[in-house]
Amino acid sequence: MNFMNIFVAVAVSASVVVGAQDVFASDNGVAFLKEKEGHLACAKKVYSLPGVRFMHKIRPVDAMAEVSVSGLPEGLVWNASRRLVEGVVDIPGEYYYKVNVENGDSTVQETVSLTVSPDLQQPTPFMGWLSWNVVEGDISDEVVRTVADAMVSTGLKDAGYDYLVIDDLWQAKAREEGTGFPSPDSIKFPDGMKAVADYVHSKGLKFGIYSDAGSKTCAGCFGSYGFEEVDAKAYAGWDVDLLKYDYCFVDGADDALSAYTRYKAMGDALKSSGRDILLYMCEWGAREPWKWGAETGATTWRCTYDTRDGWNGTPGGIGIVQSVEGMKDIWPYSGVNRFNDADMMCVGIHGKGKSSNDLVEGAPGMTQTEYRTQFAMWCMWSSPLTLSFDLRKPIAEDDLAIMTNPELIAINQDPMGQQAEFIGEDANGVQLYFKDLANGDVAVAVLNMGDKTQEYIIDFSRIDALDADIPYKVRDLQARTDAGVHEGIMNVDVASHETKVYRLSR
């Protein structure tokens, strides 16, 4: 189909640089990104639930600069050796603190805003199922009902997957004449969208929909540009809970400032729609949305082009290799209510998808070890956990076990919302990550990107959340077994493309 070619063309051209302001350079866009970033290479708009442990790692753009923090609200302290703010704020409110960035003679100050509220839209990454990878244009009332039933009967809902999101190609050929109302395709959705949403809600699930900030969606249906208020009202009227908002057909509005303006227009429209609708941005990370997405009203943003069902993508394709490339270094920008999204997982697809099938080396599909790695890293990164396999068909026990591993899901859903910090990769392609957890535990992941099994020594002194001189009780979260007590170091074997994840408790 034509639209796939259009999308692939966009993806290929923009995949040259990840975080590609170079590709979409315009004076406006570059100046906008510089202004948003200022002197900090970390989030400046952060969130916390009252009474829940909060953490904010502060990193300067200039790696040589020293940072310190002043004006912290009651309950928070500055941890100078780890360069992070931590603690618990009990009283809801809007707070501000200052970060001092010093390099030689010059000191500059940046302001951080902290919103403490019991009503955050996305305190932990949302979990659910998206229709695109296996359903594409076959989406319909019947498919939604079948999938909703399956989410309940398979136990996925009980495991935490509670958003059912329909992607592109639900729309009628054109908007309603005169009113501009965004009607659904009447053959696919004969009873309209509200009936479908009602059914999804009756199963205890939430309902998400898809549109685009351009004149058309990526698959060529009508987009929302210029119709933001009409659409937001329509979605609210249908009781929609989430909007995935794409960025095709933007007619030259390619730079970050234009994208910000378009996303904010929809963010504002959703805010005044009368319903709490989560805005999920999908401009594929091309304009570094982690620096400005939160200011549009969005609480999550895609950080890569579309994930494919393979380990290594061919040019323009995103396999695990490219997901890792796109995600590993943007951890300072993630946090509660502001999550970096690594796109739909392909766990359970086994090469039998539609759009997820192309642009990979070899045949589509991954080994169970590779799917386990995908799941584990999405959990470590605090990415929304979105499944995309075919829920119209029975699911294999082993696939279900990967997706419902409660100990890994607990890492993903940790109330402190930290994305795992990337420490580095050794000469054999073994990567080391760690993630601070709300109860003081630390999750450590060892990911073998190479093609041979490696013996690896986890050196606790490289992980600043750990004390190398005290013993830790270790739990293996993939195997779901205890892994003994370790002090200072821990020896592990990691097979090719495998990820070991450990939870360390004092």
Catalytic residues: 246, 306
What's the min distance (Å) between Cβ of 3 and ligand GAL? Answer: 7
Task: Give bridge partners of residue 84 from the DSSP assignment.
Answer: 57, 79
Q: Are 121 and 299 in contact (CB under 8 A)?
A: yes
Footprint (CB under 6 A) of ligand GAL, residues 122-141: 132
Residue 309 binds ligand GAL (CB under 6 A): no
Residue 165 binds ligand GAL (CB under 6 A): no
In the bound state with ligand GAL, the residue whose beta carbon lies nearer, of 228 and 246, is 246
What's the min distance (Å) between Cβ of 416 and ligand GAL? Answer: 28
Q: Are 409 and 379 in contact (CB under 8 A)?
A: yes
- Give the residue, chosen from 167, 231, 255, 309, that forms a contact with ligand GAL under the rule CB under 6 A: 167
- The string of DSSP codes covering 164-228 is EE--SS-B-SSPPTTT---PBPTTT-TTHHHHHHHHHHHTT-EEEEEEESSSB-TTSSB--TT-H
What's the min distance (Å) between Cβ of 277 and ligand GAL? Answer: 17
Can you read off the two tokens belonging to residue 265? Answer: 């227009």
Task: Give bridge partners of residue 500 from the DSSP assignment.
Answer: 446
Residue 217 binds ligand GAL (CB under 6 A): yes
Q: Are 283 and 259 in contact (CB under 8 A)?
A: yes
Can you read off the two tokens belonging to residue 202? Answer: 């009756």
Can you read off the two tokens belonging to residue 402? Answer: 């990967």
Residue 306 binds ligand GAL (CB under 6 A): yes
List the end-to-end C-alpha distance of the chain, in Å, as a whole number.
55
In the bound state with ligand GAL, the residue whose beta carbon lies nearer, of 263 and 456, is 263
Residue 95 binds ligand GAL (CB under 6 A): no
* Choices 70-78, 213-221, 395-403, 452-460 (CB under 6 A): range interacting with ligand GAL: 213-221
In the bound state with ligand GAL, the residue whose beta carbon lies nearer, of 48 and 307, is 307
Residue 341 binds ligand GAL (CB under 6 A): no
- Give the residue, chosen from 218, 253, 377, 408, that forms a contact with ligand GAL under the rule CB under 6 A: 218
3-class DSSP state of 400? helix
Residue 225 binds ligand GAL (CB under 6 A): no
What's the min distance (Å) between Cβ of 11 and ligand GAL? Answer: 8
Residue 282 binds ligand GAL (CB under 6 A): yes
In the bound state with ligand GAL, the residue whose beta carbon lies nearer, of 48 and 217, is 217
What's the min distance (Å) between Cβ of 456 and ligand GAL? Answer: 34
Query: Residue written as tokens 């099938």?
Result: 357
Cα–Cα distance between 332 and 288 in angstroms, integer? 13
Cα–Cα distance between 336 and 93 in angstroms, integer? 15
In the bound state with ligand GAL, the residue whose beta carbon lies nearer, of 10 and 474, is 10
What's the min distance (Å) between Cβ of 272 and ligand GAL? Answer: 25
- Give the residue, chosen from 219, 294, 430, 442, that forms a contact with ligand GAL under the rule CB under 6 A: 219
In the bound state with ligand GAL, the residue whose beta carbon lies nearer, of 6 and 410, is 6
Q: Residue 48 to residues 230, 378, 380, 418: CA-CA distances in angstroms?
A: 32, 21, 19, 11
What's the min distance (Å) between Cβ of 310 and ligand GAL? Answer: 16
Phi and psi, residue 98, nearest 5°: -105, 140
Burial class (CB in 10 A: 0-12, 13-18, 19+), 87: middle
Residue 7 binds ligand GAL (CB under 6 A): yes
Cα–Cα distance between 95 and 79 in angstroms, integer? 19
Residue 246 binds ligand GAL (CB under 6 A): yes
- Inter-axis angle of helices 27-37 and 256-271, nearest 10: 70
Residue 222 binds ligand GAL (CB under 6 A): no
* Choices 98-106, 181-189, 211-219, 318-326 (CB under 6 A): range interacting with ligand GAL: 211-219
Residue 168 binds ligand GAL (CB under 6 A): yes
Cα–Cα distance between 124 and 252 in angstroms, integer? 34
Cα–Cα distance between 376 and 342 in angstroms, integer? 12
* Choices 71-79, 119-127, 215-223, 228-236 (CB under 6 A): range interacting with ligand GAL: 215-223
What's the min distance (Å) between Cβ of 256 and ligand GAL? Answer: 17
Residue 357 binds ligand GAL (CB under 6 A): no
Where does this chain bind ligand GAL (CB under 6 A)? 7, 132, 167-168, 217-219, 246, 248, 282, 284, 306
